[in-house]
Amino acid sequence: MTEPQHANPDTDQRLTDLEIKASYADDLLDTLNALVAKQQEQIDLLLREVSRLRQRGGDDGLSAGPRDPRDELPPHY
């Protein structure tokens, strides 16, 4: 069998350019996937921390209920 001949000499260069662009796109996709995974880990950690703080409650200002102004310290304390 004979090898196919390209009708346009620029076809090889265009194909090479597309392969390079696809390679860069693939690398970018891998990088972004790793970044998304890391961000999800951070989100999960923050959600656990918020949950822990809500369970702890107390006077840390994170309780869900309204605060009584009589329980607040005056500004000079």
pTM across the whole model: 0.56
Q: Please report the DSSP string for the chain in residue order.
A: -PPPPPSSTHHHHHHHHHHHHHHHHHHHHHHHHHHHHHHHHHHHHHHHHHHHHHHH-SSSS--SSPPPGGGSPPTT-
* Model pLDDT for residues 2-59, shown as the tens digit of each residue: 556 656 879 999 999 999 999 999 999 999 999 999 999 999 999 999 999 999 985 5
pLDDT at 13: 94
Domain range summary for the chain, segments of one domain joined by +: 26-50
Q: Which residue has the higher pLDDT, 33 or 65?
A: 33
pLDDT at 59: 53
